[in-house]
Structure 1
Amino acid sequence: MKTALLTLLMVLSAAGWAHPHSFIDMKTDLIANDDTFTGLKMRWTMDEITSADLLYDAGDAKPGSEVWKKLAAEVMANVLGQHYFSEVWHNGQRVKFLNLPTEYHLSRSGNKAVLEFILPLAEPPTLGGQRFDILTFDPTYFVDMTYADAQALSLPEALRGRCALALHTPKPDDGLKQYALSLDKADAPPEQMDLGRQFAQQVTLTCR
């Protein structure tokens, strides 16, 4: 399997579409231990076309079977190759992640494939009086990775009185939108352009 998120999801069969070609609906739960930010629990639901090959390979296999475990390992390996497609920033510095998730699995929800995993922080920081910025995106913008709304974000009950999660959705200018629309499936934007970042939502975590 190849390294871009599009190809990790088995490559779409349709050609000639504008960027993005694939869509992932995200949900994220903050994981904390007392006043320590330890990780993120992510749930990525892939669109039906993107899911088709995965679900075909899974066939009638039961949830949790070896077939699903093998598919999950293949998909997760590619996510890890792209550093979870995620960034966490604190005081102008990127927070490091552990190289492996503490858990992950792949499942079916109707005609969609769902990847769930825990992204652990390598050196968990304290939360009190701090701000963190969290982004998840495909740099090439082949895949649109978005939260439907702020309800897709959640905090542990113990933190809800003193921490808050806010969702910020960018508004790229028309020129950038037209450029993205002009790219067909065979095109890739210049790496230095970091196209996906310019469309990426930002989650802000603030704590008292």
Structure 2
Amino acid sequence: MPVDPVQVLLGGFLGFAGAGALRWWQYRRDLWISEIERFTDALNEACDLSTEYWLCRKSDDKEIIDKDKALELLVQEAKLLGFQIRLDGLQACFIDRLLRDDRKSINSKMSDLSSALTGGSFQSKERDADPDRAILIQATAADLLIEMRQSVRRSLSISGTLRASAEKFSIRAYNMIVMRHHAKRKIEW
């Protein structure tokens, strides 16, 4: 039975394309997982620091706060604000790969966490220790991490990958239609 070179080339091309697509998907998945791990590490550090911050008293009527303690509290406040900005940036690296409903849920939980970290009497001179806020921070962070892990699992499934791709395609198609419409209106004016 003679070998048809076209079939051999076509089979080789399809095998190469399939293996390339699989490797590309694996690379993107690993990159995505590493971004989420960086976010998780930063979130844990921020929660630990904010728990320490909210469990110590900033001022006491009976004693004058010493300069070292005041400096330490200022450093903690600056670090907490920095962690919030870092968490927002790290979240932006992976949030668009999640399903639309999951993005809304995670954004809401991230907003709750930001309020817990630096809300209330944060940076106030008259702040007392607030164990309830420390507990709220840990609970909110745990809720966010659980939701994020479940969202990633849903998005990495075959159906989730297809849904996320369809959502991205529909958003891009809509944006192209809107841009064309606006371009026509500018030309008409």
TM-score, length-scaled by structure 2: 0.25
Structure that is richer in strand per residue: 1
**What's the TM-score once normalised by structure 1's chain length?**
0.24
Question: Per residue, is there more helix in 1 or in 2?
Answer: 2
